[in-house]
Each structure stands twice: as structure tokens, then as C-alpha cells.
Amino acid sequence: MQCEESVNHAPLQEYRIHQGKVESRVLDFGFERRTAWREVSPAQLSSHVKRNTNVARWLERNLGWRRLLRACVGLGDYN
């Protein structure tokens, strides 16, 4: 799992690869709540890759660049 870092204690975004899909949820420690996991869209994945975020680098390490590319263009499971 990968968490996006928060500088000002704002809610965090947590990511995982689950059953061949990249999913995310919000962790808000201030309110002690977690949202349900939801699938990350190809557009959202592409945005991470374009910005070379920590999430994109984590996904490339865990999926490999070919499967990450397939995920970014919406080519089904990339398991």
C-alpha cells in the first residue's frame, strides 16, 4: 500500500492493488474515519504518471511500466 503524504494533517489518500485493480480511499485521522475503497480511473492514473508523483513511482515498481501504461489507457485488468 502507498499513502500520499500530507503536510498540514489533511486527510490522506491511500492506494492499493487489489484483484488486478488500483484502488484508493481517504484516511482522515482527525475524524478517525476511512472511506470505502474505490477504483482509480485511467484518467487519474495518467495524471499521477504525468506529474511523476510518489503514487506513480510506487505503481511502476509494483506493476511494471507496461502494466501501468495499460492501466492508464483503460485496457482492463492489469494483473
The Cα 37–Cα 22 span in angstroms is: 10
Spell out the residues 6+ positions from residue 36 whose beta carbon is closer than 8 angstroms to its own.
Answer: 25
Give the mean pLDDT of the chain.
85
- Percentage, residues of the chain above pLDDT 70: 77
In a domain, 25, yes or no: yes
Q: Which of 2-11, 12-21, 31-40 has the weakest average pLDDT?
A: 2-11
Domain count, the chain: 1
pTM of the entire structure? 0.78
| In-domain check, residue 16 | yes
Q: Is 77 a member of any domain? A: no
Domain of residue 42, residue span: 2-72
